[in-house]
Amino acid sequence: QVHLVQSGPEVQKPGASVKVSCKASGYTFTNDAITWVRQAPGQGLEWLGWISPHNSKTNSAQNLHGRVTMTTDTSTGTAYVEVRSLTTDDTAIYYCARGGVLTGYESWGQGTLVTVSS
């Protein structure tokens, strides 16, 4: 059974960075991409980007202006997303999901609340 378990809630100040983790189990980690999606309070879902654990190829949404970095650690089966230069607009629940841009996402992490506040 596929499980994606994310790290706990974070509170950060504007201008800081945050790194959220997503530990995968129940499948071969390098076989599928990991996608990151976020949802601001009361808002819709926003695609952040994806990474292939197999070759570390990534692509991020253009509107993030290079503030997002996605990485993986194949030794532990864990994916990470780091968001830099945080603003209050980055306050959201961050989700990881198994799959790339063509596949639907059947498996999701439980979500990580990131709060940006001074």
Partner 1 sequence: QSALTQPPSASGSPGQSVTISCTGTSSDVGFYNYVSWYQQYPGKAPKLMIYEVSKRPSGVPDRFSGSKSGNTASLTVSGLQTEDEADYYCTSYAGSNNLVFGGGTKLTVL
Q: Which residues contact partner 1 by CB under 8 A?
A: 35, 37, 44-47, 50, 59, 61-62, 95, 100-106, 108-111
> Rounded to the nearest whole angstrom, what is the least distance from the CB of residue 14 to partner 1 in the complex?
25
> Rounded to the nearest whole angstrom, what is the least distance from the CB of residue 13 to partner 1 in the complex?
26
CB nearer partner 1, residue 15 or residue 58: 58
CB within 8 Å of 69: residues ≥ 6 apart = 81, 82, 84
CB nearer partner 1, residue 27 or residue 47: 47
> Rounded to the nearest whole angstrom, what is the least distance from the CB of residue 108 to partner 1 in the complex?
4
Q: How far apart are CA 13 and CA 104, in angstroms?
A: 34
Residue 45, class by beta-carbon neighbours within 10 Å (0-12 exposed, 13-18 middle, 19+ buried)?
exposed
Long-range Cβ pairs for the range 50-59 (8 Å, 24+): 50/100, 50/101, 51/79, 52/100, 53/29, 53/79, 54/30, 59/101
> Rounded to the nearest whole angstrom, what is the least distance from the CB of residue 56 to partner 1 in the complex?
14
CB nearer partner 1, residue 21 or residue 118: 21
CB nearer partner 1, residue 19 or residue 40: 40
